[in-house]
């Protein structure tokens, strides 16, 4: 399972809570990953399996228990699936509260924006280029197949 990633806005929100040195920026893609502890759990997972930054947790954690399975960039529509294996494998992603559907939607949009930005960087194109949207969709679909293969 991969650790959650953050963009600049998410990093600032976490820093505003007083946390420092929580990133592992070793990824050559420039993505900022949250560090894992020695036992493999997230830097922010507390001993009681709660998230220390629950109110500002990254989009990938907010989206749980949904996963993005398709991105129809022609219609600007994101398709989600419920009850798939946790993307980050963390016990702290759910604190028992009911998440408004708008919050799930916002998290999904932010994640697609992150993948678009990363894809644009990889391809050396503007994020608004249609090839970037197309490749982003391909990446999401490939990820869906990877998850499906993990389940069987
Ligand atoms: S929900 Fe879990 S993975 Fe996400 S930031 Fe919190 S402790 Fe880390």
pLDDT per position as a tens digit, 91-149: 888 887 777 889 899 999 999 999 999 899 899 999 999 999 999 999 999 988 876 66
Residue nearest to ligand 1 atom 1, measured at CA: 93
Average pLDDT, the chain: 87
Beta strands 66-72; 23-24: pairing state: unpaired
Give the Cα-Cα-Cα angle 146, 91, 35 (nearest 5 degrees).
75
Answering whether pTM is above 0.85, one says no
pLDDT per position as a tens digit, 32-42: 889 999 998 99
Pocket test for ligand 1, best of 3, 7, 45 (most atoms within 8 A of CB): 45
Does position 52 have pLDDT exceeding 90, yes or no? Answer: yes
The minimum-distance atom of ligand 1 relative to the CA of 91 is: 2
């Amino acid at each position: 399972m991969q650790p959650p990633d953050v963009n600049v806005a998410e990093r600032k929100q976490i820093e505003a809570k007083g946390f420092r040195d929580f990133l592992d920026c070793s990824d050559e893609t420039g993505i900022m990953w949250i560090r894992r502890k020695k036992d493999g759990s997230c830097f922010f997972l507390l001993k009681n399996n709660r998230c220390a930054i629950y109110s500002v947790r990254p989009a990938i954690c907010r989206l749980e228990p949904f996963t993005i399975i398709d991105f129809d960039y022609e219609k600007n529509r994101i398709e989600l699936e419920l009850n798939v294996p946790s993307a980050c494998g963390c016990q702290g992603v759910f604190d028992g509260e009911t998440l408004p559907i708008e919050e799930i939607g916002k998290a999904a949009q932010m994640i697609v924006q992150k993948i678009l930005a990363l894809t644009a960087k990889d391809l050396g194109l503007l994020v608004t280029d249609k090839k970037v949207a197309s490749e982003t969709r391909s990446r999401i679909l490939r990820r869906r197949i990877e998850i499906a293969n993990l389940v069987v």
